[in-house]
Structure 1
Amino acid sequence: MSKKEKGPVWAAGAMSGTSFDGVDVAVIETDGLDILDFGDIHEVIYCDEDRDVLRAAMGAWPGAARADAAALVVENAHIAAMAGLPDVAVLGFHGQTLAHDPDGGRTHQVGDGARLATALGCEVIWDFRSADMEMGGQGAPLAPFYHWACARWVGAEGPVVFLNLGGVGNLSWVDPTMDAPELLGACLAFDTGPANAPMDDLMAARGLGRFDSDGALAARGQVDLGILERALGDPWFDLAPPKSLDRDAFAGLQDAVAGLADADALATLAACAAGAVGRGIPHLPRRPERIFVTGGGRRNKTLMAMLAEATSCPVSPVEEVGLNGDALEAQAFAYLAVRASRGLPTSAPGTTGVAAPVGGARRSRPGTRALS
């Protein structure tokens, strides 16, 4: 796709998150600024064996055998998820994050976009984070520009927040009245802190299943206020955004709740996730009109109720405004792929702390090596 193209195109995006649920693929029509239409959505769920491979690879940097094994799982799952998609102009491929060290200026997403391009016969845009980090950015979060487009699509008339509750929580404060997402004051984004990861890890460790469905078990528990206060007293919450976290940055929470009963431990971890978002609200330029929640955490009724209390804002799943919370992150990479292919920025100082608005990603076409 030429950088000179300006009209709308159909693009696909794919996302494999740190909750290890599976691969989400979504198609949108966009010109790189606005959303014109939504297309197909596909999902491939990781089997238990593949999920174990990915969990074992967490924290691995390039060259580790466990990272290579994870890459194969990720690539095969993405090829399966995207097979049979309608023709698209470009595919945005995020890969699977295994390690993220923003202070050290490094990040690691496995998955070879060139292999996907050959297997799927489509141009693939990938490695979205490196250019941002080379210019001093955190490399995350990357969805805020798409959230800005979503705010325009739903007709928001003032600042709103999109809150993604995956393994880690991250929010995008967006002002859809601005003319472009990279402009100063259009977007502010940062990771809020631990979200689903501590709860999911506790469920797995105690043999209770993959996740607390609907937050039903947490609803029966009592929050340990001492643990909550200590967790939210971490100096990280006082740091000014932009800022980002590795999935296991707050791994100590598992030890903190080890002595609690199952329901009490889950209630405490949910309160920590909600409280972390509450600690982020004072960092916003203006209080948002609403908080739209995406990611798996929006299905946790206990967590959603805690969020409303912790933020003192109206909180609702994105479905209430006609968006699909299961597809939003995948759609974001379709949107970013079109922007990157046209030389438009994909991050800015307000989203990642990068020195100036920057685009840049690797491009692979069928049968060719990756292009810069």
Structure 2
Amino acid sequence: MMLTAIGLMSGTSLDGVDVALIETDGRHVSALGPSGYRAYTETERGLLRQALAEAPHLDRRDARPGILAVAERAVTIAHAEAVAAFVAQNRISAGAIDIVGFHGQTVLHRPASKLTVQIGDAQALAKAIRIPVMHDFRAADVAAGGQGAPFVPVYHRALAQSLGREWPIVVVNIGGVSNITYIDGNDALIACDTGPGNALLDDFMFRTIGQPFDCEGRLAAQGTPDQGWVADALRHPFFVQPPPKSLDRNDFATLALRGWSAADGAATLTAFTAGAIAAIVPLLPKPPHSFVVTGGGARNLTMMRMLREQLAPAQVESTDALGWSADAMEAQAFGFLAARGLKGLPLSYPATTGVAYPMTGGLLARP
């Protein structure tokens, strides 16, 4: 039975809440509906940055001391407002929605310690929007020894099966952290984080010129990458570890940055992200024929140019070129995962998160 689901995603880039409608049975996608976006205010972003700074002190996933409790309330309200605006703008009644997939805001991801923390009160959200909410997607995987990320590969596979392209295909998601899904057209589904996505670049932009991100990669296009620094950074042991593997947003935040100009720094960190994605190719079973790029990085023209250079002769294109939505992809995925969760289908697999056997997940909060 097909379900009508709304997916919600607030990523590590801290930009806002993506909303998307999808019709799915948890295996196939019958239709992609409208999408929307609710930006975080500067105050909300400030709260989330404080929460990220405090989160490393957590030793329990349900603890919300101090600023984390304040940030959780803000995240919940922002998501409730995002849903309310979305259904109003698209003239959808709450009764027409079967399930909402609510990822929450990741503030800490330490799978080696079996700890992953996403803030957001699903029960309060369900009551506010009057729709059942599936949430807490990652916890079961991490508790069972998995990496708890990435979780979108099953959705990437559902979309890729409709392309009719030569296999293998890799879907690259460049959010705060970058991750890939390797799809061979058969049963193989391999996924992992590849390294920094936009997080290092966004933080650098904010510190140096007070901008939240490098719009279309314009600043990076004016600079020259520090290739020596990039080569040194790519010697980190993470980049030779085989999949599956995952990262916290801040795992590379301690890298010593040099005294670059704003343009050179943007170019260097963009080149680092592209190089980290290219570094996964030798670790895959076969060289991919094509790469499909989604997430915020797909809007960065300098990032896309660098990826084409690094990944040649494979074809590199954005999801928008295929009629998919780069902006809505992860929100759609969590609508898809919510449907899978309702039906008890696996959300993660040994070759995507390293868990010992396919894992179901998600908890249901009712209005």
TM-score, normalising length: structure 2: 0.93
2:140 corresponds to 1:138: no
Instruction: State the partner residue of 2:109.
Output: 100
Counterparts of 1:147 and 1:114, CA distance in 2: 28
Instruction: State the partner residue of 2:320.
Output: 319
Instruction: State the partner residue of 1:52.
Output: 46
Counterparts of 2:111 and 2:77, CA distance in 1: 28
Identity %: 45
Instruction: State the partner residue of 1:352.
Output: 353
User: Which of 221, 224, 234 in structure 2 is aligned with 1:222?
Assistant: 224
User: What is the deviation of 1:153?
Assistant: 2.9
2:271 corresponds to 1:271: yes
Counterparts of 1:120 and 1:14, CA distance in 2: 13
Instruction: State the partner residue of 1:3.
Output: none
Instruction: State the partner residue of 1:232.
Output: 234
2:312 corresponds to 1:296: no
Instruction: State the partner residue of 1:202.
Output: 204
* Matched position secondary structure for 2:162: helix
Counterparts of 2:202 and 2:179, CA distance in 1: 17
| Amino acid aligned to 1:129 | R
* Matched position secondary structure for 1:12: strand
Structure 1, 267-276 or 152-161: larger mean CA deviation: 152-161
Counterparts of 1:352 and 1:268, CA distance in 2: 29
User: What is the deviation of 1:88?
Assistant: 1.1
Counterparts of 1:304 and 1:337, CA distance in 2: 31
2:39 corresponds to 1:30: no
Counterparts of 1:208 and 1:107, CA distance in 2: 30
Tell me if the contact between 1:12 and 1:27 (Cα under 8 Å) persists in the aligned partners.
Answer: yes
Tell me if the contact between 1:24 and 1:326 (Cα under 8 Å) persists in the aligned partners.
Answer: yes
2:125 corresponds to 1:121: no
Structure 1, 323-332 or 300-309: larger mean CA deviation: 300-309
Counterparts of 2:164 and 2:36, CA distance in 1: 26
Which runs of no fewer than 5 residues in structure 2 stay unpaired?
Answer: none
Tell me if the contact between 2:209 and 2:262 (Cα under 8 Å) persists in the aligned partners.
Answer: no
Which runs of no fewer than 5 residues in structure 1 stay unpaired?
Answer: 1-6, 367-372
Instruction: State the partner residue of 1:160.
Output: 169
> What pairs up with 1:174-193 in 2 under 5 angstroms?
174-175=183-184, 177-178=185-186, 183=187, 185=188, 187-193=189-195
Counterparts of 1:314 and 1:68, CA distance in 2: 45
Instruction: State the partner residue of 1:309.
Output: 309
Counterparts of 1:206 and 1:157, CA distance in 2: 43
* Matched position secondary structure for 1:350: helix
Counterparts of 1:220 and 1:357, CA distance in 2: 46
Counterparts of 1:79 and 1:208, CA distance in 2: 29
Instruction: State the partner residue of 1:19.
Output: 13
* Matched position secondary structure for 1:161: strand
How much is the aligned-residue C-alpha RMSD, in angstroms? 1.2
Structure 1, 139-148 or 199-208: larger mean CA deviation: 199-208
Superposed CA deviations along residues 170-211 of structure 1, whole A, max 9, x for unmatched, are: 111123x33xxxx5x2x1000010111111111110124111
| Amino acid aligned to 2:157 | W
| Number of residue equivalences | 351
User: What is the deviation of 1:228?
Assistant: 0.8
2:174 corresponds to 1:170: no
* Matched position secondary structure for 1:58: helix
| Amino acid aligned to 2:243 | P
| Amino acid aligned to 2:199 | A
User: What is the deviation of 1:252?
Assistant: 2.6
Tell me if the contact between 1:35 and 1:153 (Cα under 8 Å) persists in the aligned partners.
Answer: no
User: What is the deviation of 1:155?
Assistant: 3.2
Structure 1, 224-233 or 281-290: larger mean CA deviation: 281-290
Tell me if the contact between 2:150 and 2:352 (Cα under 8 Å) persists in the aligned partners.
Answer: yes
User: What is the deviation of 1:158?
Assistant: 2.1
Counterparts of 1:311 and 1:110, CA distance in 2: 36
